[in-house]
């Protein structure tokens, strides 16, 4: 991920703090009742999807940064460091996301990049 420094007129590689802020900000844009994928967030930032997972695993404010709304690109729920997969599944169901077996119904998956354009 690159960051523009307007006062210097240069681009530089983002630091850890900026990367975390960007991932958290995009995660906060996911509407209630919808989910996005690690890959969708990674694509916007130009990073690997696993990096998104690592950042979200360290999320210390799950009420503010709803990391439970981020899933694998194949629709599987994946892990959740705030109580495990069953807690993540329950939170999504409470928010109205339909889960079939261990996967989210594709109807509820959004591309977060499209949210930024509309």
Q: Which residues are catalytic?
A: 67
Per-position DSSP letters for 72-86, written without gaps between them: -TTSB----TTT-HH
* Cα angle for residues 49, 71, 92 (degrees, 5° grid): 155
Tell me which residue has tokens 């590689």. Answer: 13
């Amino acid at each position: 991920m690159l960051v523009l420094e307007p006062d210097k007129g240069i681009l530089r590689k983002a630091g850890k703090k900026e990367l975390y802020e960007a991932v958290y900000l995009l995660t906060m844009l996911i509407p209630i009742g919808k989910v996005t994928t690690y890959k969708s967030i990674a694509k916007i930032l130009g990073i690997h999807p696993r990096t998104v997972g690592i950042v979200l695993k360290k999320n210390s404010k799950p009420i503010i940064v709803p990391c439970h709304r981020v899933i694998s690109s194949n629709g599987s729920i994946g892990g959740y460091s705030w109580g495990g997969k069953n807690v993540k599944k329950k939170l999504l169901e409470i928010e109205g996301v339909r889960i079939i077996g261990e996967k989210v119904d594709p109807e509820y998956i959004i591309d977060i990049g499209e949210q930024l354009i509309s």
